[in-house]
Every structure is written in C-alpha cells, then in structure tokens.
Structure 1
Amino acid sequence: MTTPGASAPVMPAAVAAQPTDPVVAFAANAQPGSETMLALPGSGTTRLRLLRAYNAASGRECREVLVGGGTGERARLVCGAEGQWAEARPLLRGGGLQRP
C-alpha cells in the first residue's frame, strides 16, 4: 500500500566515468587540431595533438591522437560510445592514412 502524496525515490542520472588515462581524457574532450602538453607516466611532459575525429563503421566516434613529436611521434586511437571512451586498436597498421 502506498501513502497518498508519496513519490518514488528519485535516482540520480547516470554519470559517465572519467577516463583515467590522460591521453584518453584529452581525446574525449578535444577538437581536431587541439594541442596540449601533458605529463605522462614514464614519459615526462609530452605533446598531444588531436589529428582527426571520425565515425567508425561500428557507429562509435573515434579520434586519432598524435603523442610526442618529431621521429618519436606515434598515434593512438581512442573511441567512445554512450559517454565511455577507451583506447582502441587501429584496423590498419599506421592508421591507414598518410599523416601530414
């Protein structure tokens, strides 16, 4: 039996967990062309640049981040769906596109 005027408890809206990897966190919030310098564990201060963002065939939004600079630059792919972002493996070695 319910009490007149009583309402069901209000559940808080689901909040997406914040990524713990600083590269994933940067990719989740940056726009293509954005750059930042971050202290990465084991690497010291490193340059990050969001190269591109695209929708993958899976329906997920993916973003390619360049980490480092010069000959030591490497790409990391980060994809997200429903507010959850995580590193993903590229389908093609080298990312499939020539980088500028």
Structure 2
Amino acid sequence: MTMPREESNHAIITVIGRDQIGIIAWVSGRLAEYHVNILDISQTILNEFFTMIMVVDLEPSTLKLDVLASTLEQEGDNKGLQVKVQHEDVFKFMHRI
C-alpha cells in the first residue's frame, strides 16, 4: 500500500541577467513583501552575467504561485532580468534524468 504523497509548497526561482547592483535585494525584498520564505539560495557571476537559483516556501505567502510568477517575471523584464518561478514538482520533473 502506498502512502499519499504530501503536496510540496516549495518553488524554484531562477534569475538571469547582466550583473547590476541590488538584484538580490530586489528579489528578496519582493519575496518578503509577499511572505515567501527563502529556504536556500545560490548565486554567482559568470563573466558579466548574474545567475541565481532560490528554493522558497510558498506556505505563508499572500500570493498564489501563478500571480507571484507573473509579477516577478514582469518586474524582472523591466530590470533587464529573466525571472522564472516554477513549482518544485514541475522543476524536478523537467530536470530529471
């Protein structure tokens, strides 16, 4: 007998763009406004490109995943950044070997 799988409230946020001052501050500030908890973060600069991956907990959030994703994507576009937000399960499925 298999146990029902508990639904994850985690999401993966990726940010890519030309390096500029304040990217981490902007993303983390917006997430704090929406009560999204950052669980893990990794960022680096490759040549002049900023790359960041975050694992976040959406449980306490005031926004649904799709609204958060479209909001950050649009605001990122305005800053010259590509921002993607995916549910953890979708991200794992897309990147499985």
TM-score, normalising length: structure 2: 0.29
Would you tell me which structure has more helix in proportion to its own residues? Answer: 2
Structure with the bigger RCO (C-alpha within 8 Å, sep 6+) is: 2
TM-score, normalising length: structure 1: 0.28
Structure having the higher Rg: 1
